[in-house]
Amino acid sequence: MTRLFISYSHADSESVLPLARELQSLGFDVWFDKRGLIAGQLWEEKIVEAIIACDFFLLFISSNSVESDSVRREVSLAYHNGKTIIPLRLEKVHIPPTWGYQTIGIQWIECDEMNWQMKLLAALGLEVSHPRLSNANTRAEIANANSLDLNSNLASQKENLEIMIEIFGRDYINPSECDEVGTALRNLANSLSLRQEQLHLEYALKKNISTLADQVEKFRKICRNGSYEVDIERKNILGKMEDIFQKLGTN
């Protein structure tokens, strides 16, 4: 079971503790400071033990936590014990210089963004697939050509492609979504190859879609990086998807 240590200011309990309980419900072993239940040195030892034992150290940043000596000590201990620190910013605040050093090169999660929970789960290794795409026949094998209904199949593939465009239109994509998109693209290529003559599609389109599926699979390996180059590649893939959608839209 993955062990999480949550470092936060008690003044932010209303924001942090519901998430801690939600993570527990997902199967994570979550440890957070319940200071006041046990006092003094014994409790401090428990904190040290929990940080050393954790797999991920979740640092909730706010105007309260940056002023907390307890949070500062917890961050320092996590850093010096080589723990994976995941900073989650509850509000825009000035980051203490020591925290900037200890979190350098780490992708921050902004809790005011719509998909920040998805980012957190992906950072914790819990891959969450896109529910609409996974339920849209992306894993289904293409039926025999004689039994395919041309119009309904093409409409379904266009709908899938719209969802793929929506996914790659976001700033953040998790690896499981790349898997879903890659599978959906290959299904689209296979489907079009069965009906290419009826659809009067250019011969290169199927090859372009298959090549794009390969590109998505390569993107999967870097999508968590969050660098400028990754964003450029995401936009490159998005542009190709939109081009394919336009070509299908003329049929």
pLDDT (tens digit per residue) in 30-75: 998 765 444 555 567 888 999 999 999 999 999 999 999 989 999 9
Predicted local confidence at residue 128, as pLDDT? 54
70 CB-contact burial (10 Å; exposed 0-12 / middle 13-18 / buried 19+): middle
CA–CA distance, 162 with 206 (Å, rounded to integer): 17
d(CA 11, CA 247): 54
Reference 132, options 175, 181, 172, 169; nearest CA is 181
What residues contact 31, with CB distance under 8 A and at least 6 apart?
3, 4, 5, 6, 50, 54
Please indicate whether residue 32 or residue 104 has the higher confidence score (pLDDT): 32
**Residue 32, strand partner residues:** 6
pLDDT at position 149 is: 42
Chain position carrying tokens 């209303």:
14
**Element holding 153 (H helix, E strand):** helix 150-168
Tell whether the model's pLDDT for residue 151 goes beyond 70: no
Q: What number is the average pLDDT over the span 187-200?
A: 60
Structural domains of the chain sorted by starting position, each given as residue range(s) with its CATH number in brackets: 3-123 (3.40.50.10140), 131-249 (no CATH)
Instruction: Judge whether residue 135 has pLDDT over 50.
Output: no
Give the separation between CA 224 and CA 189, rounded to whole angstroms.
Answer: 27
Instruction: Please give the model's pTM, rounded to 2 decimal places.
Output: 0.52
Give the Cα separation of 34 and 38 in Å (integer): 8
pLDDT at 144 over 60: no
What average pLDDT does the segment 222-234 reach? 78
